[in-house]
Structure 1
Amino acid sequence: MTIKLQTQIPLQKAQNQIDYDSRLVLLGSCFSENIGQKFRYYKFRELQNPFGILFHPLAIANLVSRAVLGKVYTEDDVFFFNERWQCYDAHSDLSAVSKDSLLNALNQGIEQTANHLKQATHICITLGTAWVYRHAETDAVVANCHKVPQKQFSKELMRIEEIVASLNSIMASVQSLNPNAQFIFTVSPVRHLKDGFVENQRSKAHLVAAVHEVVSASTLKADYFPSYEIQMDELRDYRFYKEDMVHPNALAVNYIWKKFVEVWLASNTSSTMKKIEKVQKGMLHKPFNENSDQHQKFLMKLNVLKSEIQKEFPHIQF
């Protein structure tokens, strides 16, 4: 009798797979950054979160809409708090000591997003939470509260139909620029326990239900990748979380990345990825003696390998 110690989520190879000619845009929760860093390490052409981490669908929809419409930010869109200039549409990573610096960063992000959306072959959107905060004074849902006092906001759980509308808005906006882009939706395995245990599950349930409704009804190229389900069902153990018991640890991220590779990366990328990994590890190598013959030979081999990769893919830079 075969004993199974783990449930396996059945996965099928996707159509319109990713290769080294692809151009990717990754937007959303911090898990999109985990996957984005993998794409960056392996030298795929990608843009990830130009406005920093965006946790909920409305924040992503706002960025995409502004980028497509070319709607620039002005001083009316920013505010001064905690000795820095902030914008409710962006993560605090973009905050700046001067108003002009923040506005420049925001408008460069808008331009960069628009340019990449026009050329993107694949747009990966990771949804983190369905809980949103509405600013009492402006009645606008914010992407980030920037530690502004809680009393200035009301907390709401997006209804499934609201999430569906946001996702359809994102896809329609992108299609107006780029009708051939492939959408890959996923729900972040990060547990938003600050909202509460039951509240986190309600939120994830709304996100999963909405994404499946959008993917099943869409006439565009749209698919769902089960990051959340892999973490919950295949990695059912706290050893796959960081010490905060909220974020997947490196082992979990690598496991889910491997599953993503199996589904979404074309088979012809494998040999190039192995070569790039060899270069990346080689560049981190610290010799005992930089001037030794052995190390010089090692560097020569590394440069030959770099040249081979760049000859095939001139856009790859080390």
Structure 2
Amino acid sequence: MKLQTQIPLKPVSQNTIDYNSKIVLFGSCFSEHIGGKFVYSKFNTFSNPFGILFHVKAIESLIEKSISEYKYSEKEIFELNEQFQCFDAHSKLNGLKSSDLVSNLNSKLEQTKHQLETATHVIITLGTSWVYKHKSSTKIVANCHKAPQHQFDKILLSAEEISQSLQNCITHIQSINSNVQFVFTVSPVRHIKDGFVENTISKAHLISGIHSVVNLIKNTSYFPSYEIVMDELRDYRFYNDDMLHPNKIAINYIWECFLDVWISNATQVIIKDVEVIQKGLNHKPFNENSLAHKKFLSDLELKKASLKEKHSITF
């Protein structure tokens, strides 16, 4: 008896991810979760230098600025609620001095270009088609930073605009790295503040825009994280208390699905070895001075040395 509908997943045959890969991730908070999984498993990972970016225009802006070696100045910084902020970045980059924020933004741009030059895989997770345009500057912002709502116009990007923006991202990156593999996905997090119907329209535009790119451009692929949650995990027990964000169980499930598609069985064995060590490092002994714990630590060091020698993985 089957108790759920399952999304058919086919392992990729080319450009798989292994411990020689260099992975760059941009996008929504769901991208942060998957990026965290890569970091925990000790992959070479670079994620969201400007913090969480919910829509494609913000991601395109970051990529374009980094590759063109753009330099921020203090005229692009504003003060609100006793912090200096930038409409292009998440609030986690806010600073107490405008000069510090400018320096941090420019440093992040340099890091991003460097990472994109050597990346093997770029994973982009889109959260919404809704964007906010700052009225006085006519600029689409990455984050409103709780500035007064009357300063912005709310706009729904069309599937065609999303497709074109993604193609711009690809073109920019391929100008410095022609061998990169792109993986696109849609965040399963529902943006109910936009409205229930409006959220559905938003996700539909994202899916349509992405697929037009995947059908057009080589070395691009779609991973159905949104569909996995909507169909396979169609139950509120897989959500956090807000009933909007997938919980830890759901994230782990999607991660396992991602492994089955993008990571070979041989590399998955190494991931399990890494997980054994990670759990060991987090182990809290009852008696740190016991012989058993000292042997446990000795065995752990041997496992770490083995992974470093075989796969250049360090802890």
Normalization by structure 1: what TM-score?
0.97
Q: How does 1:220-239 map to 2 (within 5 A)?
A: 220-239=218-237
CA apart distance, 1:76: 1.3
For the 8 Å contact 2:307–2:314, the answer to whether it is kept is no
Is 127-136 or 261-270 further displaced after alignment? 261-270
The within-5 A match list for 1:121-270 is: 121-218=120-217, 220-270=218-268
Distance 1:270 1:217 in 2: 31
Report what 2:91 is aligned to.
Answer: 92
What residue is the counterpart of 2:286 in the other structure?
Answer: 288
Shift of 1:289: 1.4
Distance 1:104 1:280 in 2: 34
1:5 to 3, 18, 21: 3
The SS at the match of 1:290 is: coil
**2:1 matches 1:21:** no
Deviation at 1:274, TM superposition (A): 1.2
Question: For residues 81 and 313 of structure 1, what CA distance do their matches in structure 2 show?
Answer: 47
Report whether the alignment pairs 1:40 with 2:39: yes
Partner of 2:106: 107
Shift of 1:204: 0.1
- 1:129-157 CA distances to partner (integer Å, 9 max, x unpaired)? 00000001100000000000101001000
- Residues in 1 aligned to 2:73 and 2:232: alpha-carbon distance in whole angstroms: 47
- Aligned residue identity for 1:172: T
Matches of 1:236 and 1:274 in 2, distance apart? 28
Residue 81, structure 1, aligned to residue 63, structure 2: no
Gaps of 5+ in 1: none
Measured in 2, the distance between the counterparts of 1:33 and 1:63 equals 16
Q: In structure 2, what is the Cα distance between the partners aligned to 1:108 and 1:267?
A: 37
Q: Distance in 1 between matches of 2:275 and 2:177?
A: 32
| CA-CA distance at 1:290 after TM superposition | 1.0
Partner Cα separation in structure 2 for residue 288 and residue 101 of structure 1: 45
Distance, in Å, in 2 between the alignment partners of 1:100 and 1:138 is 22
SS of residue in 1 equivalent to 2:175: helix
The alpha carbon displacement at 1:271 in A equals 1.9
Contact kept in structure 1, 2:79 and 2:85, CA below 8 Å:
yes
1:317 aligns with 2:302: no
Q: Which amino acid aligns with 2:113?
A: A
Distance 1:275 1:262 in 2: 17
Q: Give the match's secondary structure for 2:226.
A: helix
Structure 2 residue ranges without an equivalent (≥5): none
Q: Which amino acid aligns with 2:61?
A: N
Measured in 2, the distance between the counterparts of 1:172 and 1:184 equals: 15
The whole-number CA distance in structure 1 between the counterparts of 2:234 and 2:222 is: 21
CA RMSD of aligned residues (A): 0.8
Distance 1:106 1:255 in 2: 34
Cα drift, residue 36 of structure 1: 0.4
- Secondary structure of 2:123's aligned partner: strand
Distance (whole Å) between structure 2 residues aligned to residue 306 and residue 72 of structure 1: 41
TM-score by length of structure 2 reads 0.98
CA distance in 1, matches of 2:61, 2:265: 35
| Structure 1 position 317, deviation (Å) | 2.5
Deviates more, 1:270-279 or 1:241-250: 270-279
For the residues of structure 1 that align with 2:169 and 2:54, how far apart are their CA atoms?
15
Q: Report the residue type matching 1:73 in the other structure.
A: Y
Amino acid at match of 1:110: L
Q: Which amino acid aligns with 1:308?
A: S
Partners of 2:222 and 2:306 in 1: CA distance? 35
Q: CA deviation at 1:161?
A: 1.1
